[in-house]
Each structure stands twice: as structure tokens, then as C-alpha cells.
A and B are shown apart, each in its own frame.
Chain A
Amino acid sequence: MTALLQVEHLTMRFGGLVAVNDLSFTANRGDITALIGPNGAGKTTVFNCITGFYKPSEGRIALAHGTPAMWDELEALTRRDARSISRPDGALFLLERMPDYLVAQRAKVARTFQNIRLFSGMSVLENLLVAQHNPLMAASGYTALGIFGIGNYGGAERAAIAKARHWLDLTGLLDRADDPAGDLPYGAQRRLEIARAMCTDPVLLCLDEPAAGLNPRESAELNELILRIRTDHDVSVLLIEHDMSVVMKISDHVVVLDYGVKIADDAPAAVRDDPKVIAAYLGVEDREVGKVEAEVGL
């Protein structure tokens, strides 16, 4: 087991409010790591810190590509006041030092949003091409060559469309490729957002409540999609989810947050039986958990 993402002592304060307090956890390569907790526990804040949308008040968020030996460089990188080290056999990034777009572009962390953020006035295919902006931009010579039709932009675009087609096929959206994204039904929009994130070739995919608003059949399909992404594309997944049927079935490792503090960090089965977790979800004192459990028939 090698670590892909390592979050250490992450604290995020908004004025007087401590949204995330001294959170540390590790997401291993090839794992599906779930981040759960009651409403307002700070899960999305953690996501925003990892993906660079927030600058954490304190703490370190490191992500390694390639060889596990990259982790040996962590302390040196932290001291050096740099964003990243890259070597031929791998790279190490300190995400809290990087702006949001570089987290996606260099560190290859892709994300989806709790309230779907598609480019609704653009077609489904265009959405997936926008996701491949950086390689296409390089292929078009940063516009300077592409505008005159010099270079192989056409070929790069065909390759990008082929990749988009692959993801449309996997998410079952191939027949809607030319429709505006805003016209898709809700479940399809969720899948399109995942497809769009995957088109950026991520190593870590952060899904913020992907099953929210889906019916049981759709959420079962989603499980399958996430598992396929993990196995076929060598992508690790970080998942925020309220739907326990998703969390328990597919995740390898669950981190539970409550009021910004980590209260459990274990395998799904162990977390499910953790009295602290049950208390957090049901909102009772630790000593009353047994009583409450008996009442609800657990």
C-alpha cells in the first residue's frame, strides 16, 4: 500500500469558525476513500482545501505521482518553500501551496461539485473537450499556430474527441453527445460531470456527493462506474457521500468527520459499528448510544 494523498494537521478557519480542525488522513493509491459525516461536518471544506479552492489556515496536503520513493523528499520540499519536485520517476506536490487550476493541471486532481457545475449552454461533447483544454492548448501552439492552421491541431482534436467518445460510452451518454448539457436529466448530468473530470486524466478523482438525488438504480450504476474507473484507469477516488449504500459497498477506507474533527478512520465495516460514528449521525452522547441503537434496531 503506497500513499497517494497525505493530509496532515489540516485546519481551516473562517473568521472565528473552525470548519476543519487538525485533520490528518491518508488516501492510498488505487483505493476508494470515503469522507463522510453529518451535514456541516466540513467535508466539502476539506475537498476545497485539497483542490486548491481554499488556502488552508494550517497543515500540509501532499500528493505523490510515480514511485513511492518520492515521499522521502517530503520534508526537503516543505523546507524549500517550493510547490513541487519532479523527477523522471515521479513527482511530489504540496497542494496547499498551489492555486486551484494548477492542482488540476499539474498535480492531476480532478473534482466534481455538490451542486452540479456543467457548462450548461455548451454541448455534452464540448464539455468534455473543455476538460482537455491544456493538452489541446499545447497542440494548437497556444493558439498562435492553431489560428493559422499550422501544426497538428486537427489530429490532437480528433484524439480528444475519441477520448470524449470513450467516456461518453462508459457513462451511457453517447447518444446525447450533441445535446446541450443543460438539457440532460439530473442523473445524466451527474455522470457527465464525472466523465468531464476523467477527461483531465487525473490520478485522484474527488467526487462531492455523486449519488445525491439519484434513484436506487442510478446509484447502483454509479457504483459500477466508480469501480470501473478505479480498476480500468488506475485512478484513486476520494468520495464525499451521504448515501451509505454507495459508501459501504465501494469504499476501501472511510474517514468520518464531525464538526471538523476526525472521529473515525477505518475500513467500512469497522466504521459502521463505531459508536462514535453512530452518535455523530444520530446526535447523541456517547453513553446513550447503546440505548438509541436498541431503539432504532441496530
Chain B
Amino acid sequence: MAKPAAETNLARAFKDAGFWALVASGLFLPLIGFRTLQDIRNELTLETRWPLFFAFVAIVAAARLLHNLVIAPWREQRRSVAARTATEVPHWSTRFTGILAPCAIGFVLVYPAIAVWAAGTGGAVKWIDNFGIQILIYVMLGFGLNIVVGLAGLLDLGYVAFYAVGAYSYALLAQNFGLSFFMLLPLAGILAALWGLMLGFPVLRLRGDYLAIVTLAFGEIIRLVLINWVPVTNGYAGITGIPRPTFFGIPFNVSDEGFAATFGLTFSPIHRLIFLYYIILGLALLTSFVTVRLRRLPVGRAWEALREDEIACRSLGINTTNTKLTAFAIGAGFGGFAGSFFAARQGFISPESFTFMESATILSIVVLGGMGSQIGVAVAAVVMIGGTEALRELDVLKQVFGSDFDPTQYRMLLFGFAMVLIMVVRPRGLISTRQASVHLAERKKISGALVREGHG
């Protein structure tokens, strides 16, 4: 009996793979099979790329076959084993979360030293700037948005607006009033929080999809104001020459008063980068620390209760409007911190940096990480931002696909692919369990299946 069954399974697997190949060919024929070129006489010519097209179809068919013959039976078997052994096997993520956080913090603290040691002073610039600082900015933004979306359950699609407010606050105040970075950092955060309150007041009576749409619009309004208010923001051209942060008054330059001269070092741009790295690391850790503390305070519990059931909250005497506003304002404040750091690091900002794409990236970091989870958000930021940066580095692929292959062109494809994969495997994000903020006898994990996502 077993043999015919296996054969029909095999046949079914091939039939299924064939079907997928058919769908893939339908999809890829216009996308990859044809390409339009403009020749010297400005005429459009159609070029066919059959080898590439068939390669893609073959990849899809092979992957589907692999899934049908290997992965699906393996998962089936694992599920039946898990069902037979009554004791629940803890998911891999739950075993690591306990030690992951201290290890990760230890690693990021020594990361610049590792980078310099491994890549040399010149080579480390890329690793500290593109990977370290860039990722940490998004970690911080993710932490900030996590308060709004993950804890309070308010879907905010315009978070980048607060990032922009922070960046422009720093840029304008530093240029026009000559205030220092460390003075403007809290000020930029407060200004962004004020904008959060201003948006929150009219908007927070809306719920769910409607809230998302209005916040999305708010993000666009801020960007359009930045573009069109030319006398103040200099429009599309942006603001250049934003003062760089100094080491407590000592600038990072080649002059005799510069950082290198003061400490008797040879000048290197990496000093400033390492300094910036530790500033953003400190800010990200501060955000995380504040979030952890807030979760244990009544306001944090009220946020989570709000995400679970707003009507029940009101029946318990919780002023839901104020609670939502605090979440919005605190989240926005952290966005403002990150924005002012961003402006200080770049030295140049323009509305280009604050498009909807940024909001979407930050939101996907929060969703992929697992709403409400700090470690999850940090890991998701490393994967998403680090991953896209790493694609630039994949020169190996050029040897495989030829020298005119540019891996960064496939960034969005891989990005989408990874997103679909994570949503299939872990629909509630990388870390989906919730840790209770207080316990009587034993700290237990709460499965993501019970935790609601909030609806405004």
C-alpha cells in the first residue's frame, strides 16, 4: 500500500510544481521575458531575454518541488511528533530571548573596536557608519514607533513626520541660533512630542483604518510643507552645512583645537563616527530602557489594556484620550530624538529623506519584530536595514551572474520575499510572545495568539 501512495505523492508533487511553473511563466513573461530598449534613433525595440526568463521559471518550479518533497513531509512529521509528545516543545525563540538581550548589548558596545580591529581604520568607516549608525537609527525609530503601534495598538503610518520635525528642528535651531547638539537634542524631542500632541488631539477619536489614513496624510502634509515653505526650509534643496556635534565643545577636525590634536592622536574621520555611534547607541538604549520602565508603570499597562479592549478600559475609569495622547507624544518624542541625530550626522537634510517609504520601513520593522517586543524590533532592524546594506557588498554575485549584474537592483525583490517568508513562518513577528509586566508567583510568557493587535 505504501508504494503506490508514495508514487501518487510524487506525481502530485510534480503536477503541483508544474502548475507553479505555469503561474510563474505567466507572471515573469512580461516582467522578465521582454525588455524595451531605446536605440540610437530613439526608436523602441523589443528585446527578449529567454534564458533569464526560463531560469526564473525553473527556480520557482524547483523550489516548489523541494517544498513538496522535502519540507512539507518534514513539517508534517514534526507536527505529529509534537502532538504525540504531550509536553509542549518551547519554540527556539523563547529559549534565546533570556540571554539574547545582554549578549546583544555587550556586542554593540564593543562593535566599533571589533570593526576597527577587523577592517582597519579606513575599512571600519563603512562598517561603523553604514551598518552600525544606520541600523541603530532604525532600531531607535522602531523602539519609538513600537510604543505607539506595539503597545498602544494605534496604527501610525506617518511616523516619519516626527522624524522630520526632529531633524528640521535641529537643523534650523543649530544654524540660526548656534545652539549645541546636546542642548537641541531634548528640544527637538519635545518639539516632535508637541507635534504628536497636536496631531493626536483631533485624530485620536478615529479608529483603525481611519486613524491609519489620517496619520498617513499627516506624514505627507509635513513633507509638503517642508518642500513648499522655501524661505524657512529651503524647499527641495534642503538644508546644508548643519553644524556637526562636537565632543563636549571639542570639534572633530584637523585644527589644533580639534579632537585628534587635543588627545594627541593622528586625525582620522573615524573618531567622529565612533563618537556618533555611541551617541545613537546611548539614545537607542535610553529609548529601550524608558519603554521597559513605562511598561511597568500604570501608563504602560493602560496602553496595553487599550490595545486589548478600549471599552473595558473606559469602564475601569481610564481616560482613554489622555492615554492615547501620551503614547503618541512619547513615541513622537523618540522619533524627534532620532531625527535630530540624523540631521547632525548627515550635515544635510532635505524632504527626500522623509518620504512615506521611511514610515513603511519603520512600521515593517515593528511588525516583523513582533509588536511590543524590544528584542524583536532590534533584530528586525538589523535584518532589514543591515540586509539591504549588505546587498551592496555582495560582489560575489557578480562572478555568478556576470559583471553587469547589480545586486542592489534586486533589493526590493528580496525585501518583499523576506517579508512574505517571515509572515508565513511567524505571522505575529519574530518574537510573538508577550511578557507580563508583573507577576505573583512565576513569570509566564503569553502566547501571541491571545494578544490583540489593537484597532485604533
Contact = CB atoms under 8 A, between A and B. Distances in A.
Interface stretch (A5-13, A78-86, A104-112, A258-266): A104-112
Given A125-B439, A161-B438, A140 B298 contact: yes
B319 A123 contact: no
Contact of A133 (B317, B447, B451): B317
Contacts of A147: 290, 293-294, 297
Nearest to B302: A133
B444 A130 contact: no
Contacts of B126: none
Given A104-B314, A119-B309, A177-B440, A130 B301 contact: yes
A43 interface: no
A125 B293 contact: no
A117 B311 contact: yes
A293 interface: no
A51 interface: yes
A161 B305 contact: no
A178 B440 CA distance: 6
Contacts of A120: 308, 450-452
Interface in B442-456: 442-444, 446-447, 450-452
Interface in A119-165: 119-123, 125-126, 129-134, 136-137, 140, 143, 146-147, 153, 157, 161, 165
Interface in B60-81: none
B452 A200 contact: no
Interface stretch (A179-187, A218-226, A232-240, A271-279): A179-187
Nearest to B452: A121
Nearest to A106: B317
A101 interface: yes
A-side interface mostly = helix
B178 to A, nearest CB: 31
A264 to B, nearest CB: 28
Nearest to B321: A101
A121 B434 contact: yes
A25 interface: no
B302 A130 contact: yes
Contacts of A178: 436, 439-444
Contacts of A118: 308-309, 312
Contact of B316 (A153, A161, A200): A200
Contacts of A119: 304-305, 308-309, 312
Contacts of B24: none
Contacts of B294: 143, 147
A123 B304 CA distance: 11
A54 interface: no
A98 to B, nearest CB: 11
B438 A157 contact: yes
A147 B302 CA distance: 15
B440 A117 contact: no
A122 B436 contact: yes
Nearest to A136: B298
A53 B312 CA distance: 11
A126 B301 contact: yes
A180 B290 CA distance: 25
A120 B304 CA distance: 11
A118, A125, A132, A180: residue with the most chain B Cβ atoms closer than 10 Å = A180
Contacts of B290: 147
B440 A122 contact: no
A113 B310 CA distance: 13
Contacts of B326: 143
Nearest to B435: A123
B113 interface: no
A140 B446 contact: no
A122, A137, A182, A183: residue with the most chain B Cβ atoms closer than 10 Å = A122
A121 B308 contact: yes
B318 interface: yes
Contacts of A102: 317
A200 B317 contact: yes
Contacts of A101: 313-314, 317-320
B446 A122 contact: yes
A197 B314 CA distance: 12
B228 interface: no
A200 B314 CA distance: 12
Interface string A210-253: 00000000000000000000000000000000000000000000
Contacts of A133: 298, 301-302, 305, 316-318
Nearest to A51: B315
A161 B436 CA distance: 14
A183 B298 contact: no
B436 A100 contact: no
A174 B441 CA distance: 10
A65 B16 CA distance: 72
A129 B440 CA distance: 12
A246 B297 CA distance: 39
Contacts of A165: 440
Contacts of B320: 101
B440 A161 contact: yes
B113 to A, nearest CB: 32
Contact of A177 (B304, B312, B441): B441
B312, B317, B442: residue with the most chain A Cβ atoms closer than 10 Å = B317
14 contacts: A51-B315, A110-B316, A111-B315, A119-B312, A121-B450, A122-B305, A123-B446, A126-B438, A133-B316, A140-B298, A146-B293, A146-B297, A147-B294, A157-B438
Given A122-B301, A134-B317, A140-B298, 10 more contacts: A105-B319, A117-B312, A119-B305, A125-B439, A125-B440, A126-B304, A126-B438, A133-B301, A133-B317, A200-B316
Q: Top 9 nearest A-B pairs by Cβ distance? A: A121-B451, A105-B317, A104-B317, A119-B308, A182-B450, A136-B298, A123-B436, A117-B312, A177-B440
Interface of A: 51, 53, 100-102, 104-105, 110-111, 113, 117-123, 125-126, 129-134, 136-137, 140, 143, 146-147, 153, 157, 161, 165, 174, 177-180, 182-183, 196-197, 200
Interface of B: 290, 293-294, 297-299, 301-302, 304-305, 307-309, 311-320, 326, 434, 436-444, 446-447, 450-452
